[in-house]
Structure 1
Amino acid sequence: MFQDSWFTVQRIDPNTFAISEYGHWEKVHSFLLLGNQKAALIDTGLGIDNIKRITDRLTTLPIDVITTHVHTDHIGSHGEFERIYVHEGDRDWLVHGIKGLSIEQIRKEISRDITLPTPATFNPETYQPFQGEPTYVLIDGDSIDLGNRKLTIYHTPGHSPGHICVLDETNGYLFTGDLLYDETPIYAFYPSTNPVDLVNSLERISEIPNISMIYGSHNTLGLEPGILEEVKSAAQYLRENQLTRFGTGIHKFKGFSVQF
């Protein structure tokens, strides 16, 4: 682990790093996965500071950026990298802007409840989320080969139309983006979200075998795979009680909660 002025870097294993932004209320995690031919960076953070400064310290391998979904706190440093992957369902948001979020709202959310000094380059009044064409458009079931490490893409819509989870087949790590994390609710209450899809996606990841650890994009770094049993039960409960619709509020389960 090393502490940067903005980022906290934690080593998950010799070839896997979490790059976290604990000075912001969203407590965002991005993840750098090293192979023997290239590396994958799962998301690029808030864009308050330049995450490439960190990845340059950790590897000289070429980096593919894998976007779990196109929300501001996951695409902040996309513009610093040459190769960007995004699911086809979120491609339009990456190119034309995030649906349903005004720039005023984005700037308000990016600048509140910050507890660490921000770099001089960060100005919330002029902050602009990344927009641009992806290098590659992903679909469900795609594989990304890092040489000695295979990543499999699971399309898990709900939080956004093109949200994905990434399974590191080699180590059993499941990177869940904003589909599953603890402490604060998983959000599916914006008009651009879909509660039914979110519950279907939760159920889908609960059935993936041989998971050794789960890494969500916020809050606690690393959740034990036993939580997937609770996820499966929660999906069934939400469906049976007809709660998978906007306005039903926050639903709390053991280790996580969902807000519709």
Structure 2
Amino acid sequence: MLNHPWFTVTPIDARTFAISEYGHWEKVHSFLLLGQQKAALIDTGLGISNIRELTRRLTTLPVSVLTTHVHTDHIGGHGLFSEIYVHEEDCSWLEHGIQGLSIEQIRADLVRDLSLPLPAGFDAAAYTPYRGKPAGLLSDGQIIDLGGRSVEVIHTPGHSPGHLCFFEATSGYLFTGDLLYDETPVYAFYPSTSPSELVRSWERIAGIPGVSRIYGSHNTLGLDPGIMADVERAVMTLRENNLVSFGTGTHYFNGFSVRF
């Protein structure tokens, strides 16, 4: 395991690494996938420490950033990379910022409840979320070829309009961003979210064949694919009880939950 004062690097296999920020209360994970010609970095974390320096220690391949969605805890290091890709529905947020969330609130959330010291030189009071034009847009069903390794783009709106999951059929790895993780609720109660679309996205990923491991962007690193049966049951329960709407509260299932 590679030592770093802020990031924890966990090899998933010889060509796949989780880059985790356990010192922050959100326990954010980014994922580096190495192909033969290029590498893909799924999200760039909080921006508290330099994730680009870390990826250089892990690979000499050119790195493209695949964005699950444009929330500050997933785009913190975007400015360190030249090739950034995002879904069209989140592109405006990437270029112009997310409306309705003050910079004061962002900065406060960034440094609360820390369990590790902030890296030297990081100034939370000066932190500004990344804004910029992407190198290109990602679309549902698109196949990203890394050279001897390919990843499918799956549009899974709900948590954000342009939220994406990424699936590697060969390994069975499904990277679910903020669509599915354990321990803390998945959020779909902001005005920019959609409970109905999130439930449809849950239903969609539960039907993907060949999933061997689920890698959400927060909390436990790697979930058993058996959770998909629980996701299917959750979808049915929420719909049958007319709970798929704003204001119905937090709903708990076997190993995960959602707040509408």
TM-score bucket (shorter structure): over 0.9
**Structure 1 unpaired stretches of 5+:** none
Name the counterpart of 1:127: 127
Q: Does 1:107 align with 2:141?
A: no
Match of 1:225, SS state, is coil
Q: Does 1:215 align with 2:209?
A: no
State percent identity of aligned pairs. 67
Name the counterpart of 1:193: 193
Inter-partner Cα distance in structure 1 for 2:134 and 2:236: 36
**Deviation string, structure 1 residues 148-181 (Cα, Å, up to 9, x no partner):** 1110000000000000000012211000000000
Q: How far has the Cα of 1:119 moved from its partner?
A: 1.6
Report if the CA contact (8 A) 1:100-1:191 is conserved. no
**Deviation string, structure 1 residues 117-160 (Cα, Å, up to 9, x no partner):** 11233212111000000001111111100011110000000000
Name the counterpart of 2:17: 17
Name the counterpart of 2:55: 55
Partner AA of 2:152 in structure 1: T
The runs of at least 4 aligned residues of structure 1 exceeding 4 Å deviation read: none
Match of 2:126, SS state, is coil
Match of 1:154, SS state, is strand
Name the counterpart of 1:255: 255
Name the counterpart of 1:70: 70
Name the counterpart of 2:169: 169
TM-score between both structures, scaled by the size of structure 1: 0.99
Report if the CA contact (8 A) 1:8-1:22 is conserved. yes
Name the counterpart of 1:85: 85
Inter-partner Cα distance in structure 1 for 2:213 and 2:120: 37
Q: Does 1:179 align with 2:194?
A: no
Partner AA of 2:132 in structure 1: G
Q: How far has the Cα of 1:90 moved from its partner?
A: 0.2
Report if the CA contact (8 A) 1:99-1:192 is conserved. no
Q: How far has the Cα of 1:3 moved from its partner?
A: 2.7
Name the counterpart of 2:147: 147
**Structure 2 unpaired stretches of 5+:** none
Name the counterpart of 2:7: 7
Inter-partner Cα distance in structure 2 for 1:100 and 1:86: 21
**Deviation string, structure 1 residues 89-125 (Cα, Å, up to 9, x no partner):** 1000000001321111111111111111112332121
Q: How far has the Cα of 1:30 moved from its partner?
A: 0.2
Match of 2:191, SS state, is coil
Inter-partner Cα distance in structure 2 for 1:62 and 1:191: 37
**Deviation string, structure 1 residues 55-89 (Cα, Å, up to 9, x no partner):** 00000000110000000000000011110010001
Q: How far has the Cα of 1:223 moved from its partner?
A: 0.2
Inter-partner Cα distance in structure 2 for 1:190 and 1:105: 15
Match of 2:85, SS state, is strand
In terms of mean alpha carbon deviation, does 120-129 or 45-54 score higher?
A: 120-129
Task: Work out the number of aligned pairs and report it.
Answer: 260
Inter-partner Cα distance in structure 2 for 1:100 and 1:237: 32
**Deviation string, structure 1 residues 218-246 (Cα, Å, up to 9, x no partner):** 00000010100100110111111111111
Inter-partner Cα distance in structure 2 for 1:181 and 1:172: 17
Inter-partner Cα distance in structure 2 for 1:229 and 1:11: 27
For the aligned residue pairs, the C-alpha RMSD in angstroms reads 0.7
TM-score between both structures, scaled by the size of structure 2: 0.99
In terms of mean alpha carbon deviation, does 94-103 or 175-184 score higher?
A: 94-103
